[in-house]
Amino acid sequence: MKNPVWGRLLSVATWIVALIFFAPVAWMVLTSFKQETDAASSPPSFFFEPTLDQYRVIFASDAGPYFMNSVIATASSTVLVLILAIPAAYALSIRPVKRTQDALFFFISTKMLPVVAVIMPIYVIAGQIRMLDNIATLIILYTAMNLPIAVWMMRSFFLEVPGEVLEAASLDGASLLGTMRRVLIPMVAPGIAATSLICVIFAWNEFFFALNLTAANAATAPIFLMSTMTSEGLYLAQLSAASVLASLPVVLAGWFAQKQLVRGLSMGAVK
Amino acid sequence: MTTTQNPPAAVAGEAHTTTKPTAPEKSRVRSDRAEAWRRRAPLMPALIFLIIVTQVPFLLTIWYSLRSRNLLRPEGEQFVGLSNYGDIFLDSTFRQAALNSVLITFGCVIVAMLLGLGLALLLDRKFFGRGIVRTLLITPFLIMPVAGALLWSISMFNPTYGLVNWLIGLVGISPVDWTSEYPMFSVIVALVWQWTPFMMLLLLAGLQSQARDALEAASVDGASAWQTFRYITLPHLRFYLELSVLLGAIYVVNTFDHIYLMTAGGPGTASANLPFYIYQRAFLGFDIGQSAAMGVVTVIATIALALLALRLIFKSINAKEQS
């Protein structure tokens, strides 16, 4: 370890491994700037005249509504999650209810229920109340999907708020809502941002519900990706451009919030 | 909406109890109860919402699993007891799907964990461009899973213009039709690629939470790098290893996107896992009774895994609260 040559070799090895891992992503981005003939060439073409044609095709296509649906489903469900999760996390941390552990257990156990075990009744119910192919259905389901993670995450942030701050607020005679709005929420604002990030990632990437419960009206970006592959035969460069566009929001968000990612993925257990 | 209504209601309840000072015993009981409800009120909307959206459908799934119902055979549905369960255990495709689920979950989680551990150890040093390397390494996890699955099945594994065949062609191996000849392997490779960053992130957090003075003391005492790893780092990492494996398993056992897009469970049903097979039976076979029974069996099988993971998470939460 102390040997500088050994250390430098190790650093080079790390870089090489990282580049290998990143290569498929790089290849996807590269392909998105190709013409279709270059994209499906054998052997693969590394040198070509880059073009923005594929992105133009995507922007001119019917991709707009799909991405708009994704934005609506992701944003609405994230807001709904926060509205439900922040008070719940408060009731499980700062002024805890009896049987807090049971409530926590219930929340997280729903996260471990395989989605496939509930899809059929959800499909039948949604059909009966005419909510199939309706973006509201996705919003409700994405809210339920992310709510347990958000409750756990927000709770772990609330537990970090020093007790004196809350005592001072309650001595001032501030009401529950007042305490939350003026004292607590500003203190856990970074936590709210981190929680939102996790909710956005999972909602944006969700495929199973969107596949089974939407059709022409409410389909989201992952469905658009799949449809570019199946409807018009294979246009690899175009598919790559669509993949880049569909992945970009979450990739950027994740890059900028790597630490929060760990906390969210482990439901607050790892900080 | 209910969140804004509940707290005032609870406050009103308190006011009510304090106006009856003549019966102190009763009043104390009531104010205790009011206090309990005031604490509970902010929790209720989330709790009720989640019970309705997750537990009600699951109860319906159990109900469906006890009835025969096939949307293609409208002669009616009836209570059939446990016969759907009997049928699925006689169904060899179901057994294979269950086995595939186990293979995919364990194969992916173990390989991703080992790779993630290696990468975490490499990253737990100071070197040039460490932030960039970390950013590159987590990217596969952030790519939309649908995009990742299509990327692997087409750009990487395509028999004629895929990158993998070109690479093995450089060392003289003839082209392979990966997703048809080795469907399970192909799916696991794509999943490992996606989940290794997850493992790496958790394990790196574990490595960086090590007490530096213990490591320094070890090196002052002349411990070798291996001894330090074996006797100090590994015991410390144990919690993080268990956590990453269990959480990873819970996420991976539900894999659907990759199977659906890379192999469609095929060839035949060679690479169908439980979520995919249940989906197939429900949405393509319209056999609601049997697919519900399979769903219930999947939940029961997942519970053992989930309980282990939960116990671990609770242990860490309690340890933190007591510290």
Q: Which of B258, B294, B246 is nearest to B104 (CA)?
A: B258
Radius of gyration of chain A (CA): 23
Contact B302, A112 (CB under 8 A): yes
Which residues from chain B sit within 8 angstroms of residue A251, using beta carbons?
139, 142-143
| CB spacing of A11 vs B128 below 8 angstroms | yes
pLDDT of residue B279: 92
- CA dist A202 and A226 (Å) reads 18
Q: Write the burial class of residue A221 (CB in 10 Å: 0-12 exposed, 13-18 middle, 19+ buried).
A: buried
Cα–Cα distance, B278 to B91 (Å, whole number)? 12
Q: What are phi and psi of A233, to 5 degrees?
A: 75, -165
Comparing CB atoms, the residue among B39, B53, B139 nearest residue A91 is B39
Predicted pLDDT at A236: 87
Cβ–Cβ under 8 Å, residues A41 and A188 = no
Distance CA A88, CA A104 (A): 10
| pLDDT confidence of residue A135 | 94
Superfamily of domain B91-322: MetI-like (1.10.3720.10)
Say how many residues make up chain A: 271
- Quick: pLDDT tens for A153-183: 899 888 888 877 777 766 666 676 777 777 7
pLDDT tens across the length of chain B (323 residues) = 333 334 443 333 344 444 444 566 677 777 788 888 888 888 999 999 999 999 999 999 999 899 887 766 666 677 888 888 988 888 889 999 999 999 999 999 999 999 999 999 999 888 888 999 999 999 999 999 999 999 999 889 988 888 999 999 889 888 888 988 999 999 999 999 999 999 999 999 889 888 888 888 888 888 888 888 888 888 888 888 988 888 888 889 889 999 999 998 888 889 999 999 999 988 888 888 889 999 999 888 888 777 877 777 777 766 666 55
Structure tokens at A42: 């054998």
User: Would you say B101 and B273 are in contact if contact means Cβ atoms under 8 Å apart?
Assistant: yes
Q: List the CATH code of the domain at A62-260.
A: 1.10.3720.10
pLDDT at A173: 65
CA dist list (Å): A240 to A27, A237, B146: 9, 5, 12
The CA distance from A61 to A73, in Å, is 21
Residues of A within 8 A of B299 (CB-CB) are 113-114, 117
Q: Tell which of A42, A107, A116, A195 to mutate to test the B interface (max B CBs under 10 Å).
A: A116
Q: Which residues contact B129 (CB under 8 A, 6 or more apart)?
A: A15
Paired tokens of A197 = 């990030």
pLDDT digits (tens, 9 = 90+) for B287-307: 888 899 999 998 888 887 778
**A·B CB contacts under 8 A:** 300
How confident is the model over B50-83, as pLDDT tens digits? 999 999 999 999 998 998 877 666 666 778 888 8
Closest CA–CA distance from residue A239 to any residue of chain B (Å) = 9
Q: Write out chain A residues lying below 8 Å of B64, CB-based.
A: 120-121
Q: Which two tokens stand for residue A57?
A: 């095709």
Q: How much is the pLDDT for A172?
A: 67
**Which residues on B lie below 8 Å from A24 (Cβ)?**
140, 151-152, 155-156, 163, 193
What would the pLDDT profile of A215-264 be if each residue is shown by its tens digit? 988 999 999 998 887 655 678 888 999 999 999 999 999 998 887 888 77
Decide which of A21 and B1 is more confident: A21
How many Cα atoms are found within 13 Å in the side-chain-facing hemisphere of B53? 22
**Residue A148: both structure tokens together:** 């347990």
Indicate yes or no: CB of B7 within 8 angstroms of CB of A151.
Answer: no
Angstrom distance (rounded) from CA A40 to CA B158: 10
Q: In this structure, what is the dihedral angle of CA atoms A153, A156, A162, A166, given to the nearest 10 degrees? A: 60
User: Which residues from chain B sit within 8 angstroms of residue A92, using beta carbons?
Assistant: 43
Residue of B nearest to A253 (CA): B142
Residue B116 CA to residue B195 CA, distance in Å, equals 9
Chain A residues touching residue B137 (CB < 8 angstroms): 18, 21-22
Query: First vs last Cα of chain B: how many Å apart?
Result: 37
pLDDT for the residue numbered A70? 96
| Candidates B41, B138, B151; nearest CB to A24 | B151
User: B187: how many CB neighbours lie within 10 A of its CB?
Assistant: 28
What local confidence, expressed as pLDDT, does residue B11 receive? 39
For residue B4, what pLDDT is reported?
A: 39
Closest residue in chain A to residue B190, using alpha carbons only: A24
Give percent of chain A above pLDDT 90. Answer: 42
* Closest chain A residue to B251, measured at CA: A112
Inter-chain touch A255–B138, beta carbons under 8 Å: yes
Residues of B in contact with A18 (CB under 8 A): 133, 136-137
First-to-last CA distance in chain A? 28
Contact A82, A195 (CB under 8 A): yes
- Reported as a single tens digit per residue, the pLDDT across B1-31 is 333 334 443 333 344 444 444 566 677 777 7
- Comparing CA positions, the residue from A150, A229, A178 lying closest to residue B150 is A229
Instruction: Please report which residue ranges of A51-118 form alpha helices under DSSP H.
Output: 53-60, 63-91, 100-111
A22, A90, A265 member nearest B42 (Cβ) = A90
Closest CA to B77 of B317, B244, B260, B290: B290
- Contact call for residues A232 and A58 (beta carbons, < 8 A): no
Q: Do A120 and B282 touch (CB under 8 A)?
A: yes
The pLDDT of A91-110, averaged and rounded, is: 85
pLDDT score of B13: 39
Question: Higher model confidence: residue A215 or residue A47?
Answer: A215
Percent of chain B with pLDDT over 90: 39
Q: Please name the residues in contact with B234: beta carbons below 8 A apart, sequence gap of 6 or more.
A: none
Distance, in Å, from the CA atom of A40 to the CA atom of A6, rounded to the nearest integer, reads 41
